Amino acid sequence: MPGEVREVVWSAFKMEQAIYKPGFPSPLQWTVRAESEPRRRNLFCPGTVFDAVVEKVRIAGAGLAGLTAAYVLSKANRPVEVYEKKSRLLPSSGPHTEGIRNYRERDVLEELNSFGFDLPPFSTVLATIRVSPRARNVIRGPAHYLFMRGREDHTVDQILFRRAQAAGARFHFDEEIDPADADIAATGPPRDGYNILGAGYSISEAGSDLPRDTAYALFDNEVAPGGYFAITPGIGFHSMYSVSWSELDFDRLLARTEKAFDLPWIREIVGSGKRVGRILGRAYVAPDPISGAVRDGTLLVGEAGGFQDAVAGFGFRYSVITGSLAARSLMEGSDYRALLRDTFGLEFQQASAMREKMNHATNDDYDRMIGALGPEISLKEYMKRREARGF
Ligand SMILES: Cc1cc2nc3c(=O)[nH]c(=O)nc-3n(C[C@H](O)[C@H](O)[C@H](O)COP(=O)(O)OP(=O)(O)OC[C@H]3O[C@@H](n4cnc5c(N)ncnc54)[C@H](O)[C@@H]3O)c2cc1C
């Protein structure tokens, strides 16, 4: 038909997310007349075979989840527009180190690779030292992989951004959009709905004593109520901060964090290292993120959807996987929630149940929890014990 532009309107995919049931014709098999009409008012002509030009995918937010979705889509030659309300790319919590836990049978890097994330970590933690007021245990083995987040060229944020851009994704900084107008909402923890807080400092690598293969977690309610104080090595600076599920005020949590810096063993690690920045971040975990993962046809990814680790606040893996699955769902026209269910199974329920217990843990409980592992344990043995307790 001369002059007629044939294309699939992206809202068809969104509609499929909302209404498609097996046995009914999928909107993906509908050819759509776009002509000059705006995206949301296109006409659908059911019954014609899919042979279309694909419309742009709009992503709100250029955090880890949005960047992953943009990278996966653009690599597959899908047109992508990413809108980021900040004027430049930077994780909401400022530059810091992030660890991905490697506590499953399948290596987590291999798992992330299967979702299109192939960045190498800058280091592998081989000694994870967990400390409570009266106990200490070392997990020996590759328990965490480390990545830098921030504005430097070597950080995950900048590498993914450059790759997505090189593959054709277009970024619009200083542009806030309504997540409901996006195909993928990757807007991070809701401003007023967060339920985990992180607060602490980055400490210069120079002068401090923290090998790149060693990380610490201190379990002490005085320092990190219902959470833990993390020490992770970095490139140029290390990250030292408290994560809490019950102290949700930055100033009060920072004041608690100071108590950690008074402990002799932490003073030794810091040495003459200097505080070079503050780490202040919010996070949001939903008890059942999968059921709320599609809102009015928009796919929620990362912390916008509450995809977080309820036990440790480790959202990196979830941001990458949900960003990638949302991209796949749009490309294949498959059901996003079904993909999530297949991938995560009962993970979120198990983590929530564990979090319930952790919320009531006293320092004595932490002593028992860590003391029970003995002074040293292999990662393999630790994983066996985790499996036995359900998470
Ligand atoms: C201090 C700290 C330490 C952490 N450490 C670890 C760790 O060691 N391991 C781990 O696995 N996880 C860790 N996490 C969690 C992990 O960083 C997050 O789960 C993950 O980065 C969330 O990514 P996201 O893309 O969902 O959200 P965000 O990174 O928050 O990105 C959302 C983006 O959307 C933008 N935005 C918001 N609204 C709009 C809008 N309307 N329009 C346009 N743009 C918008 C924001 O400006 C932001 O850039 C840590 C988190 C914090 C705070």
Question: Is residue 3 pLDDT above 50, yes or no?
Answer: no
Tokens for 143, please give them. 């328990």
310 CA distance to ligand 1 centroid (A)?
15
d(CA 72, CA 117): 8
Question: Is residue 87 pLDDT above 50, yes or no?
Answer: yes
Q: Is the dihedral of CA 275, 277, 282, 285 positive or negative?
A: negative
- Report CA-CA distances (Å) from 130 to 30, 136, 339, 347: 56, 6, 35, 23
368 CA distance to ligand 1 centroid (A)?
33
170 CA distance to ligand 1 centroid (A)?
20
Task: Give all domains of the chain, ordered by start, each with its CATH number.
Answer: 7-55 (no CATH), 56-95+150-193+284-358 (3.50.50.60), 98-147+196-283+361-391 (3.30.9.10)
Q: Identify the residue whose C-alpha is closest to ligand 1 atom 7.
A: 98
Atom of ligand 1 nearest to the CA of 189: 30
| pLDDT for 384 | 93
Question: Is residue 8 pLDDT above 60, yes or no?
Answer: no
93 CA distance to ligand 1 centroid (A)?
7
Q: Identify the residue whose C-alpha is closest to ligand 1 atom 4.
A: 98
d(CA 13, CA 380): 43
Global pTM reads 0.89
189 CA distance to ligand 1 centroid (A)?
7
Q: Is the dihedral of CA 375, 376, 382, 384 positive or negative?
A: negative
**Residues 229-239: tens digit of each pLDDT:** 999 999 999 99
**Residues 316-372: tens digit of each pLDDT:** 999 999 999 999 999 999 999 999 999 999 999 999 999 999 999 999 999 999 999
Give residue ranges with CB within 6 A of ligand 1.
60-66, 83-86, 91-93, 96, 98-100, 176-177, 179, 186-188, 198, 241, 279, 281, 283, 302-304, 308, 313-317, 319
d(CA 192, CA 287): 17
Atom of ligand 1 nearest to the CA of 317: 11
Q: Are strands 184-185 and 298-300 parallel, antiparallel or unpaired?
A: parallel
| pLDDT for 54 | 56
148 CA distance to ligand 1 centroid (A)?
13
Q: Identify the residue whose C-alpha is closest to ligand 1 atom 31.
A: 63
Beta strands in 157-292 (DSSP E): 170-173, 184-185, 196-204, 214-218, 228-232, 237-244, 275-283
Could you tell me if 217 and 200 are in contact, meaning their C-beta atoms sit under 8 angstroms apart? no
